[in-house]
Structure 1
Amino acid sequence: MSLKWWRGPREEPSAATAGPASPAGPSGSGATAPEPADAPDTQQDGTGTHDTHSAEVVTAEQGVGFAELPTEAPRTGPLSPLPAPLLTGLPTGLPGMRADGGLLRGRWIAAASLTGTSHLLHGTSGQDVYRYTATHDGSGLVLVVCDGLGSRPATAQTGAGLLASYLCEAAAHITGQRMAEVPQDVLREVLATGNAAVRRHRAAVLEPLTDSDLAATVAVCWLPLPAEGEGEDEGVARHALTGHAVRVGDCNVFTLARGRYEAPFPAASEGPANVVTAYLPCEDPARVAEYAPVALAGVDAVVVTTDGLAIDLFDSPSVRTWLASRWSVPCGPARMLDSLRYRRQGSHDDRTALITWSAPLDHIPRLEP
């Protein structure tokens, strides 16, 4: 069992239950507190909930001589001013911000990962990693997110990076025919292959580290693509409007359709959940893996997240509204980064989202030869 984060009981947020901001703990986040239903410093408009004084807010947090671009991302609940972020001195540290946006096999993919304020306050590394690939036979896209456990601050991000890369390498060999027949078995095989590769790497290169030193939670999502030369309608019918996902631990998958979210995997159980018992690498990945089909009928986008963002989506109406508005269209990398710049009382963990939109882009400009 490994310490990861602590969260309070799930309930509909209300102003009466909102308390003071919670300090971040050494494990990577503070308590998740209920948020006010109508925070005084936000308002609703056609683009979702946003801060009405973003320029002033950013200026107020710039007391140490650095400048940042303003944002309309919401601020929810009583919040303290942010101190200067501390960078990690670890050679295994990850960059504090990562973002991507572009086409892969005709589908737009965007991703962003921000180091949580708990890490920035203590000068430790973020531990979220995302990867994506397309299968060699062109049958599908593969989206992977991994989250290293905060109880291993010097090494778990290394495990998350290795696991994400090895999983993508294994998933690239998935065939559409096998996914149509035994999708659950295929994705469990991918987990087993990636798990074994990380353990071999550890034994060959990273001795005397143990499996728990590299422990990470993970979600893998396979989404169908129409065959080359096949029309979009034919492709949709051929794949029965279903994707497939597997996870170990508390990463999650969401579908977004007309501003509404659905989650194939359930939310974490109510009450304290600062102990994670399922992670990779381990002796028996099949025992800890969870599988879920991903219904794609009418879906605008599929979002794969680590737990820091998943908790906010489950628990915060203002975050759900804000992200639905930002993700209503395919995002470039700067827009993806800005979408995760909201502040919410009790939200201190790393935030990572990896998204693909269902429809191909109508117009793709080409450079002149």
Structure 2
Amino acid sequence: MVRKWWPRSTRAEPVAPATTDRPGTSRPDAPRSPDAPRSPDARLPAQAGAVPAARAPQPEAAPTPEQGLGYAELPTAAPRGGQLTGLPAPRLTDVPTSLPGLRADGGLLGDCWIAAASTTGTSHLVHGTSGQDVYRYTTTKDGSGLILIVCDGLGSRPATAQIGASLLASYLSEAASHITGRQMALAPQDVLRDVLATGSAAVQRHRVAVLGALTDSDLASTVALCWLPLPGGSGPGHAVRVGDCNVFTLSERTYATAFPADEGPANLVTGYLPYDDVPRVAQYAQVGPAGVDAVIVTTDGLAIDLFDSPSTREWLASRWSVPCGAARMLDSLRYRRRGSHDDRTALVAWPSAPAYPTDEP
């Protein structure tokens, strides 16, 4: 297993010595930050399936701005959970390979409404390091499917893993765009695993040709890729992942997960790309868009909050119950929760979104 560096303590975390960088090994971790105790109903079940979101939280006092900061920020109604302290001023990184701290999108893609947002985690902002989450979206060239991709570079390589995540997401997007509806109807699991293998090999070739001083583990990232039939298509959606990214569906504020929650220490991952034997580390799941309001593809920072926090589940269900624009999507990730330090990235698709006017008003 490979250890991710950001601290979290909702699960007991053993101290492990540094070993190799191959899947199935571990790395030393940063100091832990204590979490509030987890309530018994604070997770989705380990098996894929439907679970109701938590009851709506009791009304709270209007949020107040952080005290003692010398800059202004827009207000938000995003919830604050647990015993929180004031945040220090965020530190930006001077690493030339850093990724943007905030990114958001919202709009029509192939007649399907999608929204996406990515925010740098407080663990990076406190230390002045780069966030390492990347998302991509595209449609297949034959018009049969929508492709949603998230990648998360491993924090133990703060100067280079985000390069790997960005490269992998781009190469996977290109490879997945050639998928046909006929292929997905016949052998979806094999098709998506082949896409992962193609993207992984492309990153390796790029490293050898351009980044010769780096190793595969310097570019290591986890990934989730989801294919959904576009409006007018038929059949279920399909997803693959390597590592701890995840895919959820939301239906009438009830969540279901495509992949079970990982047990054991939260910041250990069992696989990443690039890797030579992709079928060994890849997991496959069917994702049925029929009858669901939204399909959500996330990196582990947000997936863990969905599993562990009823108030976060309810907040995001309320924000994502209808298609939202880029600003609303970004604001949805502005909640604060004790122990939630990692980058947050989500791609949300509304398969049954109504038609929208295309002419200017």
Of 118, 131, 135, which aligns to 1:113?
118
Cα distance 1:108–1:28, how it changes in 2: closer, same or farther (>3 A)? farther
| Structure 1 residue 350 corresponds to structure 2 residue 337 | no
The Cα shift of 1:225 comes to 1.6
The whole-number CA distance in structure 2 between the counterparts of 1:170 and 1:118 is: 33
Aligned-partner residue type, residue 304 of structure 1: V
Aligned-partner residue type, residue 96 of structure 1: G
Matches within 5 A, 1:201-280: 201-226=206-231, 232=232, 235=233, 239-240=234-235, 242-269=236-263, 271-280=264-273
Aligned-partner residue type, residue 319 of structure 1: T
The whole-number CA distance in structure 2 between the counterparts of 1:113 and 1:325 is: 19
Aligned-partner residue type, residue 304 of structure 2: I
Cα contact 1:36–1:76 (8 A) shared by 2? no
Cα contact 1:54–1:70 (8 A) shared by 2? no
2:285 is paired with a residue whose SS is strand
Aligned to 1:43: none
Cα distance 1:338–1:289, how it changes in 2: closer, same or farther (>3 A)? same
Of 189, 196, 204, which aligns to 1:199?
204
Aligned to 1:360: 353
Aligned to 1:52: 60
The Cα shift of 1:9 comes to 5.1
Aligned to 2:290: 297
The whole-number CA distance in structure 2 between the counterparts of 1:164 and 1:8 is: 29
Q: Which sits farther off after the overlay, 278-287 or 305-314?
A: 278-287
| Structure 1 residue 323 corresponds to structure 2 residue 326 | no
Aligned-partner residue type, residue 206 of structure 2: H
Aligned to 1:187: 192
- TM-score of the pair, normalised by structure 2: 0.87
Aligned to 1:82: 87
Q: Which sits farther off after the overlay, 272-281 or 154-163?
A: 272-281
Aligned to 2:334: 341
| Structure 1 residue 34 corresponds to structure 2 residue 37 | yes
Cα distance 1:26–1:99, how it changes in 2: closer, same or farther (>3 A)? farther
The whole-number CA distance in structure 2 between the counterparts of 1:130 and 1:51 is: 34
The Cα shift of 1:84 comes to 0.2
Aligned-partner residue type, residue 349 of structure 1: D
The whole-number CA distance in structure 1 between the counterparts of 2:63 and 2:254 is: 30
The whole-number CA distance in structure 1 between the counterparts of 2:167 and 2:269 is: 20
Per-residue CA deviation, residues 320-352 of structure 1 (Å, 9 max, x unaligned), is: 000000001111110011000000010000000
The whole-number CA distance in structure 2 between the counterparts of 1:186 and 1:29 is: 40
Cα distance 1:31–1:92, how it changes in 2: closer, same or farther (>3 A)? farther
- TM-score of the pair, normalised by structure 1: 0.85
Cα distance 1:30–1:222, how it changes in 2: closer, same or farther (>3 A)? farther
| Structure 1 residue 104 corresponds to structure 2 residue 109 | yes
The whole-number CA distance in structure 2 between the counterparts of 1:309 and 1:357 is: 19
For structure 1, the 5+ residue unaligned runs are: 12-24, 39-46, 227-231
1:296 is paired with a residue whose SS is coil
The whole-number CA distance in structure 2 between the counterparts of 1:223 and 1:309 is: 21
The Cα shift of 1:284 comes to 1.1
The Cα shift of 1:77 comes to 0.5
The Cα shift of 1:367 comes to 1.9
Aligned to 2:300: 307
1:165 is paired with a residue whose SS is helix
Cα distance 1:50–1:210, how it changes in 2: closer, same or farther (>3 A)? farther
Aligned to 2:48: none
Cα distance 1:37–1:183, how it changes in 2: closer, same or farther (>3 A)? closer
The whole-number CA distance in structure 1 between the counterparts of 2:72 and 2:253 is: 33
2:247 is paired with a residue whose SS is strand
Cα contact 2:204–2:216 (8 A) shared by 1? yes
For structure 2, the 5+ residue unaligned runs are: 13-27, 42-54
Aligned-partner residue type, residue 192 of structure 2: L
The whole-number CA distance in structure 2 between the counterparts of 1:96 and 1:48 is: 30
Aligned to 1:158: 163
The whole-number CA distance in structure 1 between the counterparts of 2:38 and 2:298 is: 21
The whole-number CA distance in structure 2 between the counterparts of 1:166 and 1:316 is: 34
The whole-number CA distance in structure 2 between the counterparts of 1:48 and 1:352 is: 23
The whole-number CA distance in structure 1 between the counterparts of 2:32 and 2:120 is: 11
Aligned-partner residue type, residue 3 of structure 1: R
The whole-number CA distance in structure 1 between the counterparts of 2:266 and 2:127 is: 22
Q: How many residues align?
A: 332
Cα distance 1:145–1:32, how it changes in 2: closer, same or farther (>3 A)? farther
Aligned to 2:2: 2
Q: CA RMSD in A?
A: 2.2
Of 321, 328, 332, which aligns to 2:325?
332
The Cα shift of 1:274 comes to 2.7
1:203 is paired with a residue whose SS is helix
